């Protein structure tokens, strides 16, 4: 038996993200889409995603061996996507979409729904894997999914996060959300719209590094020289 705290933490977030996935699928199968999924998942999403901040603390304190930089970038990018975009402009993020491909009447779109599907599936696998490690045994199917599902979920998840930026930023600009205009008592101005552009510019270079890091981990764990066991 591993660390009881880490077991409880990872198990709780596996369940939390499982609930987000359940609510997403429930709304979609009932005929709803982004608006309905947002209304159903908003609270459990905010709780589950914000709890990931503790992963940075775990890394700093040495509770886990995860590299600080990759952990920090991964957590910070999602916290910004949630609290800096979706929570700031929920109407835009929960009603719009970006079309990647259209064939006849069929469309491949990125939206809040794809964001929830990618985030919840990836986190269920990740936290479930960590919880299983604390129990001392990781079933090989879970190990394989942990180091393989990201090949699809990661690019679609990042694309969905950028879709939230595409949908939210015009609203942030038009309404001056989270911005401080002159004149004011502080004699200081801040334009959150341009901060978002800076965040996107900083966001994108770090994401390939995370993807390459996961590819290296996948090769190490699932490569020809590895054995079907937790690593």
How far is residue 122's CA from residue 154's CA, in Å, rounded to a whole number? Answer: 8
Query: Cα Rg for the chain, rounded, in angstroms?
Result: 19
Residue in the block written with tokens 């190490």: 220
Give the separation between CA 133 and CA 1, rounded to whole angstroms.
9
Q: Is 127 one of the annotated active-site residues of the chain?
A: no
Q: Which two tokens stand for residue 70?
A: 């990759």
Given a contact cutoff of 8 angstroms between Cβ atoms, the answer to whether 56 and 72 are in contact is yes
End-to-end CA distance of the chain: 16
Q: 25 vs 13, 125, 143, 175, 194, CA distance in Å?
A: 18, 17, 24, 33, 35
Catalytic residue among 19, 154, 192, 213: 154
Q: For residue 60, give the 3-state DSSP assignment.
A: helix
Burial degree of 125 (CB within 10 A; 0-12, 13-18, 19+)? buried
Residue 94 · residue 112 · CB < 8 Å: yes
Check 27, 36, 55, 161 and give the catalytic one. Answer: 161
Strands (E), the chain: 98-103, 106-110
**161 counts as catalytic:** yes
The phi and psi torsions of 147 (rounded to 5 degrees) equal -105, 15
Three-class DSSP category at 59: helix
**Which residues are tagged catalytic?**
154, 161
């Amino acid at each position: 038996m591993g660390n009881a705290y880490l077991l409880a933490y990872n198990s709780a977030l596996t369940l939390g993200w499982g609930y987000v996935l359940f609510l997403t699928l429930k709304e979609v199968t009932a005929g709803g889409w982004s608006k309905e999924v947002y209304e159903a998942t908003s609270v459990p999403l905010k709780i589950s995603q914000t709890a990931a901040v503790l992963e940075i603390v775990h890394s700093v304190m040495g509770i886990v061996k995860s590299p600080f930089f990759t952990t920090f970038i991964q957590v910070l990018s999602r916290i910004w996507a949630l609290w800096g975009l979706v929570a700031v402009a929920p109407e835009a993020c929960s009603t719009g979409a970006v079309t990647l491909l259209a064939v006849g009447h069929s469309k491949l779109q990125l939206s809040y729904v794809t964001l929830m599907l990618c985030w919840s599936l990836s986190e269920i696998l990740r936290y479930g894997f960590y919880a299983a490690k604390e129990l001392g045994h990781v079933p090989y199917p879970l190990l394989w999914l942990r180091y393989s599902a990201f090949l699809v979920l990661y690019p679609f998840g990042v694309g969905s996060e950028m879709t939230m930026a595409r949908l939210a930023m015009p609203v942030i600009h038009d309404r001056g959300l989270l911005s401080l205009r002159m004149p004011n008592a502080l004699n200081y101005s801040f334009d959150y719209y341009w901060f978002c552009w800076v965040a996107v510019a900083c966001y994108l270079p770090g994401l390939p590094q995370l993807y390459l890091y996961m590819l290296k981990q996948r090769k190490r764990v699932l490569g020809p020289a590895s054995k079907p066991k937790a690593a």
